[in-house]
A = this chain, B = another copy of it.
């Protein structure tokens, strides 16, 4: 049986430790091709490059593994991989990460890591984004190996519902403290922004966005609760944004 073909991408850029870890782990499972941003793309959400050009350059950063660095966003990387680099091949899995920082709850919307995975799902491919809930670029990644490999193997073996991408977050704790894996819903939380106002050397005002994560969700079945209780969280995500309940509300209440 031939090895599954796995596309690896991320949003922290091709030189980050997280993607090195991901390549190392999934290359034990399948044939790996890497198409990743040539520079950090954190917070890029589902941005794509329109009205501008894209570059794609072969990279030997992963030795014998076929790899390319791309000037675009994480979603661009998946599109270029699917429709150019791997145009005539059957892609079995898209994995993205391992992100340096949490993508749980509402952060899924802002995350380049998860947007790459969702783009994979749009392309009809089982897709998974992995994130470690630790923003330290030097954070310990040793505790995630067995969980990540298990999740990738199950996704390849059992598949995912069409149009679904998994948002996997690892708690920043030692291996022996992790209690297991929980499949959850996205917690109802948000970032309450504040803006740090400063003056540049030329006398002009500028801002740094600073945010506090606020969890409004008291439920037990969401990703924030799972992570707080030392579980690896998996939220299956979809790209149909329709709020079906609101269709009824508008049709019943509105005069249109």
Give 8 pairs: A residue, B residue, CB < 8 Å, sorted on A: A42-B50, A45-B115, A46-B47, A55-B207, A109-B118, A236-B247, A236-B249, A236-B250
Render A200-236 as a binary contact track against B, CB cut-off 8 A, 1 for contact: 0000111111000000000000000000000000111
Q: In the bound complex, do residue A110 and residue B48 qualify as a contact, i.e. CB atoms below 8 Å apart?
A: yes
Sample of 15 more A-B contacts, CB < 8 Å, known A53-B208, A154-B255: A40-B51, A42-B51, A43-B50, A47-B47, A54-B195, A79-B193, A79-B209, A84-B197, A106-B239, A154-B256, A158-B253, A160-B246, A180-B256, A185-B244, A186-B242
A-B pairs with lowest CB-CB distance, top 7: A45-B46, A236-B246, A43-B50, A238-B243, A237-B241, A45-B45, A185-B242
Q: Which residue of B lies closest to A254 (CB)?
A: B154
**Is A20 part of the contact surface with B, judged by Cβ < 8 Å?**
no
Q: Report the separation of the CA atoms of residues A115 and B106 in the bound assembly, to the nearest whole angstrom.
A: 13
With a CB–CB cut-off of 8 A, which chain B residues contact A118? 109, 241
Bin chain A's interface residue count: 35 or more
Q: In the bound complex, do residue A240 and residue B206 qualify as a contact, i.e. CB atoms below 8 Å apart?
A: no
Q: In the bound complex, do residue B209 and residue A54 qualify as a contact, i.e. CB atoms below 8 Å apart?
A: yes
Q: A55-B207, A80-B195, A164-B243 are in contact. Are A44 and B42 (CB under 8 A)?
A: no
**Is A26 part of the contact surface with B, judged by Cβ < 8 Å?**
no
**Is A251 part of the contact surface with B, judged by Cβ < 8 Å?**
yes
With a CB–CB cut-off of 8 A, which chain B residues contact A238? 241-243, 246
Chain B nearest CB from A157 CB (Å) reads 9
- Partner of A234 from the list B45, B108, B123, B250 (CB cut-off 8 Å) is B250
Q: Which residue of B lies closest to A181 (CB)?
A: B256
